[in-house]
Amino acid sequence: MVTIKSKKEIELMREACKVVALTYEELEKSIRPGMSTWELDQIAEKTMRNLGAIPAEKGYNIGVKGIPPFPSSICVSINDEIIHGIPSKNRIIKEGDIVSVDTVALKNGFNGDAARTFIVGKASKDAQNLVEVTKQAFFEGIKYAKVGNRIGDVCHAIGEYVHSQGYSVIKEFQGHGIGRKMHEDPGIPNYGKAGRGIRLEPGMTLAIEPMVIQGKPNILELDDGWTIVTEDGSLSAHYENTILITEKEPEILTILEK
């Protein structure tokens, strides 16, 4: 069931999403070659807690036997890691890495969710282009995130743009509704047919998140039960924001107004 947020609930969503945006400001200032992904995790957790929020990913349990709850405050995935990388003191960020970070903050009972892929130092032109295309795919999608359109219109636009640039999207993971729960209906794949799915209504809050692969769209799950990587070792990037469907243009809640 897709939840329509009240004005009060939307204001609470804005607060959670602002925490996420401020956390990314801190991470962008801090990330550098030679630091560990654990250090990024500590910066993110400290920032969220200082802003009165809880890192919602910490302790998140998917309910599958044998897979432990997620142990960290953020997901940090490097190069061929697509999503759900677990921060570690032993994982050191190097010059030229592309580092995808997924952050969810819980404040006042509501979640805000966003992902960014950072280019650390000087990366290859291929890596830079991948990161730019992944970000643009989000904006191509939300052109259709308007009242009366269907969720499939958003999904189709993302997939068509990514494929037109010579890249792949993964089909096993997708965006989602968000609110009191981190993952709510509807599911939002990064591919699909236009004109399909639910109609968009004011008050819907959605986490739209292109996950783009440089090579073939085949993936593997590592033994930790969380980290998802490209099967062929090709680079991957991730870009996500929480948006609000309004009577006019969609409002991006996890980007600070300048």
Segments making up each domain of the chain, as ranges: 7-252
* pLDDT of 63 above 90: no
* pLDDT of 169 above 80: yes
Render pLDDT for 186-209 as a digit per residue (tens, 0 to 9): 999 999 999 999 999 999 999 999
Which residues, other chains included, contact 107 with Cβ-Cβ below 8 Å and sequence gap of 6+? 12, 15, 16, 19, 51, 52, 53, 54
* Mean pLDDT calculated for residue range 132-152: 98
Residue with tokens 């998802």: 228
Which helix H or strand E contains 37, and what residues bound it? Answer: helix 37-50
Q: Which of the listed CATH numbers 3.40.50.620, 3.30.70.560, 3.30.479.10, 3.90.230.10 matches domain 7-252?
A: 3.90.230.10
Render pLDDT for 26-37 as a digit per residue (tens, 0 to 9): 999 999 999 999
Residue with tokens 């030679």: 34
